[in-house]
Chain A
């Protein structure tokens, strides 16, 4: 491990942090542009002008925007995400459990979809242009083409209504036995998996096929290696960088893109929480959730970049 690689990685990490700061500004500005008066929405239409003015003062709403921004930012850095306007609850406390739930769902969807996508991609390469390849690609593309809410309701219709073997509403709560929990998330997990599978599988297939054109694949073939050995030992390791990239983008989607799926299955995660509070114009909650989603997204992308750097032997082992 030498300086160029450390430098490159440090650059990526620094860029990620910078990006996150920029996003925090965007979120803050964006939520401030939203129409409506926070004080008004808390106190309701019947509030007197004096009461409104008092509340604004109390909440610091009359300060200039940049003061409020830094106030908000330093609060976050100290772990204070603010107080929900509607419920008067600490946002950090309410988010904790929901974030955990979202990550739980995303984690299991990833555990199933990533290996499945890569294995299907490898199979598609091995039997390329044959019936197996066409079947895999066709199935994956069909599942991606259908919107998640449609797949979600379709799954509910089949597995919860027609054959009632799984719950159609995925309520989970703390202290629930693990197996119960798994059963509860089975359908949303499937819906998510079907949503991200095709992209990862197609990109894996394309990345490996691209590598299969290389002269060293011919070398391996002329050594008498079997088709699977060639793909596993020579093609896959060289296609790893683009595969990691597409996998992390999809992981990010699993965390961030669960909103719709959570709403369908009434799953108590971040997505539902966000949608609820957007409807109520609860700005601190929207800001906090937005920032967390952005952080997850940027973090995973930095991981992808760092992994691609580490996968390059020229950078790992300089001359």
Chain B
């Protein structure tokens, strides 16, 4: 019988909000959550944003973000209830018995200190080791996490190291004081898929080699399936289901878990290209900084009426710049953009109102793309007035129609963006784009900031709207699963060039070019042992070269 490290009983976490002019209100964030973790085991905490997974995950450090506090239950770590430890007791436990790996290592490192100083800091603070010993440990951890130049990487500053490397340095920082428990809070979410796989493998290997126990918080079931022994599903601050990883992904009991597991299964039949594309991008080259930093190199793609071209690539591949070049926000240096048979002028300022109307955009961050002081009615109504001169009752009627189309109902017309959920905000942005009756909508990572189930709803909506309105989409994303669900044709972008382009069936069938192969093989699959297979496959490919 393995030894119990962490035993959380009937945890209750509340937050008090102080809205000016109102009485302070107490909201329950987490209610009646219990879990146990044995030494050396990994428990995955999974759920949507707002499910309370980070809040539960941080409870073994007795830490609450933004006025959150633990108001009930017990958190027993190594046999002691840490909620009864007092301030100093908790301070001694943080960074010593329990360590934390944050989502964005780029933000979680102090920019003015060298990495080594930060990695050994917890050791020195708690007297776990002296400086020499701590640095020796750090270097050995850097080696274990396969960081380049482990002897010297500690001398660097955070901005001198890549995002994936920083995330591994952060893992080393958490492992350095040899804690009993590490909390991984979405450690790979901010990374590109091809980077994620290496970091994930490094984390898994480090957990295995040091025998540390871990709570692994994520919204991505496929990722957690690779590292966790057990998984707990949370929703609205309550436990939905808990079981072994095998059971959760193969035989989920609760309907919510079942929905999570089957989230990516949208069937979309690929449409045939038409003779006349609605948009042709021809040999476009674009650059930032007076033509110095070339971001797009000789890019050519076509989009057909009523169809979807998915542009997929990692951060920095130039996919958003392509959108900027098409819309004229970044006039291309060379090449041309043909829309509906006529050449669009390169500069946004030279385009006609009609050009602007027919080409709309939807952005990743719905909440910053809307004026927070306008109602939903005003937001959707503005393009109606601007392009079609609709006013008063006529405009309201059209706004209501659009609200019905995006499946929200007319009751939302007087609401403000702050009163909407993330998915609803994105729906309003879609309605605003549709209001102009465009022929093409550029969707820039429109589902990336949303939870999987909500994102799925948005994708389904977009597909429905395409059927009704016969609108074409240029769908920019980094997520291959989304591409599979929505695209008719695909362009894979890599370092500003189109690495692979064609109909969906064609692009996703071998023989692949090296980059597409790497990209496709890096997308986590919801199955046990995928990570090992993928890494092994990669090593084989490496040996073959």
Contacts and interface: CB of A to CB of B under 8 A. Distances in A.
Judged by DSSP, the binding face of A is: helix
Interface stretch (A188-196, A224-232, A282-290): A224-232
Contact of A224 (B65, B96, B104, B111): B96
Contacts of B160: 317, 319
A238 interface: yes
B93 A238 contact: no
Interface in B410-449: none
B94 A221 contact: yes
A215 interface: yes
B274 interface: no
Contact of B100 (A222, A233, A234, A311): A222
In this complex, the interface size class of chain B, counting residues with CB under 8 Å from chain A, is 20 to 34
A54 interface: no
Nearest to B159: A314
B159 A319 contact: yes
Nearest to B98: A222
A238 B157 contact: no
Interface stretch (B120-128, B251-259, B348-356, B464-472): B120-128
B144 to A, nearest CB: 20
A216 interface: yes
B533 interface: no
Contact of A225 (B63, B102, B112, B125): B125
Contact of A313 (B95, B122, B159): B159
B475 interface: no
A224 B94 contact: yes
B113 interface: yes
A116 interface: no
A229 B124 CA distance: 12
Given A216-B107, A226-B91, A313-B157, A221 B112 contact: no
B110 interface: yes
Interface in B325-381: none
A82 to B, nearest CB: 48
Given A219-B102, A226-B91, A238 B112 contact: yes
B63 A216 contact: no
A215 B159 contact: no
A214 B158 CA distance: 15
Contacts of A317: 156-157, 159-160
A138 interface: no
A4 interface: no
A229 B63 CA distance: 18
Contacts of B111: 216, 238, 313-314
Nearest to B121: A223
Contacts of A223: 94-95, 99, 121-122, 125
A169 interface: no
Interface string B52-65: 00000000010101
B121 A225 contact: yes
Nearest to A215: B107
Given A219-B108, A238-B112, A313-B112, A224 B91 contact: yes
B92 interface: yes
Given A314-B111, A314-B159, A317-B160, A219 B100 contact: yes
A75 interface: no
Contacts of A222: 61, 63, 94-95, 99-100
B184 interface: no
A11 to B, nearest CB: 18
B73 to A, nearest CB: 21
A60 interface: no
Nearest to A225: B125
A220 B63 contact: no
Interface in A167-204: none
7 tightest A-B CB contacts, nearest first? A223-B95, A224-B94, A215-B107, A224-B95, A223-B122, A222-B100, A216-B110
23 contacts: A214-B107, A215-B102, A216-B109, A216-B111, A219-B100, A219-B108, A219-B110, A220-B110, A220-B121, A222-B63, A222-B100, A223-B121, A223-B122, A224-B93, A224-B95, A225-B121, A225-B125, A237-B110, A313-B112, A313-B159, A314-B157, A314-B159, A317-B160
Interface of B: 61, 63, 65, 90-96, 99-100, 102, 104, 107-113, 118, 121-122, 125-126, 156-157, 159-160
Given A221-B63, A233-B121, 7 more contacts: A214-B107, A216-B108, A220-B121, A225-B121, A233-B110, A238-B112, A317-B159
